[in-house]
């Protein structure tokens, strides 16, 4: 994987290799050694030794050959070969051809073996706790023992390899955003190559460069990428411009288990009732707040915009080097997002969407019958609220964007910050951060008469419309693997703090990784996760840019709130009118 952006440098990454299952494997290997050394009469258990070797190779993304598996058995060659064939016949080993002749194979644990291994991990924990009590000392908050966290209900199993490797010249080519979640995919490159059976090359760009490259790619005779990551607000534009293939043309959507995705994330992948991508990361923008600082000040977590301002004022101590709140206020795209979300906090979308139970209806946007709603009473309330936030913001707030607003929160310089969950690793995985273990998560506080909203962000992964037809089947298979529950759980275990699926959020290991998943899951069930604050119409990027420019002039004192609203409205009207469907 190459051409990586470096926005995420310095983000702590959680240990990748020493997982619970590897701990079980290591324990049983060492315990077998002790038994065989202590009692000469005991012969090596070839089946067990080979199963351990096979599983360890799978979890560490190493290629296991028949020769290496036989060597791991510690019994004579002929005996080991028979034991290996026993395991193949019993459906415990899958053999994947390594050459076109089919004479050379790599060996992989089957789904059956992985399932039985999880059950063994569970039983080992219960046996250890019943005989010896407690968990492993020194593990802190980790309450598993020998992989026993998989003992809880409905754990998601590890990824298992495809029976047949994907056959696609040059491997699978992916275009993504340079954020922590997609960088986790980069770190797991070898493991995914093992799973799909071919090479993976990934290019990662900043958000604006990603959009530009995706649009340029759509103009080429044949796509350079098999899969591209698409920011949710771009769906309408990319669908209308023919950048993406409607997924129902190339695959059975039932394979994806659509009901398992957070409702808002799955709906946001649609345009004109057709899905154009699969949610790869659902990452709502939340309010991060320091629970310890709130407790010291005797403050309740803010549920309203007024309460947020009061808390920001109370915790704003610039002489001590601490500020109330950080947020996206850099000119252009960054501030534009803040404007749309803040107007939503006051109960209004940026377009004239019809109101429905739980929010606003976006299902008819493809018909083109919409207009901008910026210069409104809710728009004025939002503008005045942003002006007040300036008083409790750190120096340089007007140049702060996605990452810049989180770094001062992670370093303890601000008490609150608006941020996407994908940025939580900056403080959740850094034990030296003052916010480590002290962060609470809330939806956006609501303005008068409005309801709390957690605006949904994130990316879907889609298939370019100009992808060569012979590459499409492999792209579909890779897309299914990359967005599967097993893959999503693996991302979380390696530091990601985004997740698009209910099943992953309820997995016991995922729940233990961070309280953010339970918080987001709860918001989803309460209908607080919404994507209407950034409706995915083709003009949305232009509207965001307009708001980011006009409101930046307002925050700098060049224009008044009413002037900023009027100018933004006029520019948005001019942008939308020529593009509207007659």
Query: Predicted confidence band at 100 (pLDDT cuts at 50, 70, 90)?
Result: low
Looking at residue 144, its pLDDT comes to: 33
pLDDT in tens, 6-26: 334 444 444 433 455 666 677
Q: What is the mean pLDDT of residues 285-311?
A: 97
Question: What is the signed CA dihedral for 283, 231, 156, 58, rounded to 10 degrees?
Answer: -120
Q: Residue 201 belongs to what H/E stretch?
A: strand 200-205
Q: Which of 81-90, 174-183, 425-434, 569-578 has the lowest mean pLDDT?
A: 81-90
Q: Which of 57-71, 156-170, 285-299 has the lowest mean pLDDT?
A: 57-71
Query: Predicted confidence band at 156 (pLDDT cuts at 50, 70, 90)?
Result: confident
Looking at residue 371, its pLDDT comes to: 95
Q: What is the mean pLDDT of residues 386-391?
A: 97
Q: What is the mean pLDDT of residues 121-137?
A: 58
Looking at residue 102, its pLDDT comes to: 63
Average pLDDT, the chain: 86
pLDDT in tens, 527-563: 899 999 999 999 999 999 999 999 999 999 999 999 9
Instruction: At 211, give phi and psi (nearest 5°).
Output: -60, -45
Q: Given a cut of 80, is residue 402 above it in pLDDT?
A: yes
Q: Residue 260 belongs to what H/E stretch?
A: none
Query: Predicted confidence band at 521 (pLDDT cuts at 50, 70, 90)?
Result: confident
Q: Given a cut of 80, is residue 495 above it in pLDDT?
A: yes
Q: What is the mean pLDDT of residues 344-365?
A: 93
Say if residues 485 and 159 touch (Cβ distance below 8 Å). Answer: no
pLDDT in tens, 192-206: 998 999 999 999 999
Q: What is the mean pLDDT of residues 30-44?
A: 70
Q: What's the gap between Cα 397 and its chain centre?
A: 27
Pairwise CA distance, residues 177 & 12, whole Å: 18
pLDDT in tens, 443-459: 999 999 999 999 999 99
For 194-212, b/e burial (b = at least 16 CB within 10 A) is bbbbbebbbbbbebeebbe
Looking at residue 141, its pLDDT comes to: 34
Which 3 state secondary structure label does DSSP give 157?
coil
Looking at residue 28, its pLDDT comes to: 75
Q: How many CB atoms lie within 10 A of CB 570?
A: 15
Instruction: At 346, give phi and psi (nearest 5°).
Output: -95, 20
Say if residues 109 and 79 touch (Cβ distance below 8 Å). Answer: no
Looking at residue 7, its pLDDT comes to: 38
Pairwise CA distance, residues 37 & 35, whole Å: 5
Query: Which residue has tokens 């649609």?
Result: 270
Q: How many CB atoms lie within 10 A of CB 297?
A: 12
Looking at residue 90, its pLDDT comes to: 83
Beta bridge partners of 286: 419
Looking at residue 524, its pLDDT comes to: 86
Task: Report the predicted TM-score, pTM, of the whole model to 2 decimal places.
Answer: 0.75
Phi-psi region of 86 (alpha: psi -120 to 50; beta: other; left: phi over 0): alpha
List the structure tokens of 482.
């990359």
Q: What is the mean pLDDT of residues 373-394?
A: 97
**433 vs 24, residue with greater confidence:** 433
**505 vs 467, residue with greater confidence:** 467
Looking at residue 154, its pLDDT comes to: 63
Q: Given a cut of 80, is residue 133 above it in pLDDT?
A: no
Looking at residue 509, its pLDDT comes to: 86
Q: Residue 38 belongs to what H/E stretch?
A: helix 20-38
Looking at residue 203, its pLDDT comes to: 94
Q: Given a cut of 80, is residue 308 above it in pLDDT?
A: yes
Query: Predicted confidence band at 45 (pLDDT cuts at 50, 70, 90)?
Result: confident
**138 vs 209, residue with greater confidence:** 209
Q: Which of 28-32, 54-58, 572-576 has the lowest mean pLDDT?
A: 28-32
Task: Give the list of residues 6+ apart from residue 235 with CB closer than 8 angstroms, or none.
Answer: 244, 268, 269, 270, 271, 276, 277, 460, 536
The DSSP 8-state label assigned to residue 18 in this structure reads -
List the structure tokens of 241.
């411009």
Q: Given a cut of 70, is residue 149 above it in pLDDT?
A: no
Looking at residue 62, its pLDDT comes to: 74
Q: Given a cut of 80, is residue 81 above it in pLDDT?
A: yes
Pairwise CA distance, residues 327 & 11, whole Å: 19
Q: Given a cut of 70, is residue 37 above it in pLDDT?
A: no
List the structure tokens of 347.
């109960």
Q: Given a cut of 60, is residue 135 above it in pLDDT?
A: no
Per mean pLDDT, which of 147-151, 387-391, 399-403 is the most reliable?
387-391
């Amino acid at each position: 994987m190459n051409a990586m952006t470096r926005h995420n440098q310095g983000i702590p990454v959680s240990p990748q290799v020493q997982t619970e299952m590897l701990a079980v494997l290591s324990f049983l290997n060492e315990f077998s050694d002790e038994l065989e050394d202590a009692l000469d009469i005991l012969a090596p258990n070839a089946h067990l030794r080979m199963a351990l070797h096979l599983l360890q190779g799978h979890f560490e993304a190493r290629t296991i050959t028949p020769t290496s598996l036989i060597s791991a058995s510690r019994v004579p060659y002929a005996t080991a070969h028979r034991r290996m064939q026993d395991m193949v016949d019993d459906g415990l080993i899958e053999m994947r051809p390594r050459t076109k002749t089919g004479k050379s194979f790599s060996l992989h644990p089957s789904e059956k073996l992985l399932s039985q291994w999880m059950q063994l991990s569970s039983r080992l924990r219960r046996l250890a706790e019943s005989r010896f009590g407690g968990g492993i000392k020194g593990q802190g908050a980790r309450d598993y023992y020998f992989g026993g966290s998989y003992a809880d209900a409905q754990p998601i199993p590890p990824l298992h390899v495809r029976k047949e490797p994907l056959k696609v010249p040059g491997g699978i080519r992916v275009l993504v955003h340079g954020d922590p979640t997609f960088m986790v995919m980069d770190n797991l490159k070898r493991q995914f190559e093992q799973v799909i059976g071919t090479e993976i090359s990934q290019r990662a760009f900043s958000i604006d460069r990603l959009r530009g490259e995706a649009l340029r790619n759509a103009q080429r005779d044949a796509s350079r990428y098999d899969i591209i990551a698409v920011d949710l607000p771009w769906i309408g534009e990319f669908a209308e411009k023919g950048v993406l293939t409607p997924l129902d043309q190339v695959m059975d959507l039932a394979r994806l288990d659509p009901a398992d995705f957070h409702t808002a994330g799955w709906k946001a992948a649609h345009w004109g009732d057709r899905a154009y991508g699969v949610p790869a990361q659902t990452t709502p923008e939340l309010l991060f707040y320091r629970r310890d600082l709130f407790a010291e000040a005797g403050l309740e977590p803010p549920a309203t915009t007024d309460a947020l301002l009061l808390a920001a004022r109370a915790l704003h101590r610039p002489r001590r080097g601490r500020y109330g709140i950080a947020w996206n206020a850099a000119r252009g795209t960054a501030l534009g997002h803040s404007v749309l979300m803040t107007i939503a906090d006051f109960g209004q979308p940026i377009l004239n969407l019809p109101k429905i139970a739980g929010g606003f209806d976006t299902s008819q946007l493809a018909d083109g019958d919409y207009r901008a709603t910026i210069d409104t009473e809710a728009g004025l309330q939002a503008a005045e609220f942003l002006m007040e936030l300036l008083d409790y913001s750190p120096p340089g707030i007007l140049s702060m964007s996605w990452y810049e607003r989180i770094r001062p929160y992670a370093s303890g310089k601000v008490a609150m910050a608006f941020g996407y969950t994908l940025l939580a690793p900056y403080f959740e995985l850094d034990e030296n951060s003052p916010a480590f273990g002290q962060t609470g998560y809330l939806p956006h506080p609501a303005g008068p008469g409005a309801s709390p909203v957690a605006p949904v962000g994130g990316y879907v992964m889609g298939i370019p419309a100009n992808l060569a037809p012979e590459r499409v089947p492999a792209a579909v298979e890779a897309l299914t693997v990359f967005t599967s529950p097993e893959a999503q759980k693996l991302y979380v275990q390696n530091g990601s703090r985004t997740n698009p699926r209910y099943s992953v959020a309820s997995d016991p290991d995922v729940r233990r990784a961070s309280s953010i998943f339970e918080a987001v899951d709860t918001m989803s069930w309460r209908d607080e996760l919404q994507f209407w604050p950034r409706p995915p119409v083709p003009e949305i990027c232009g509207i965001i840019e307009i708001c980011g420019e006009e409101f930046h002039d307002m925050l700098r004192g060049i224009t008044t709130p009413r002037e900023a609203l009027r100018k933004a409205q006029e520019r948005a009207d001019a942008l939308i009118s020529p593009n509207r469907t007659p």
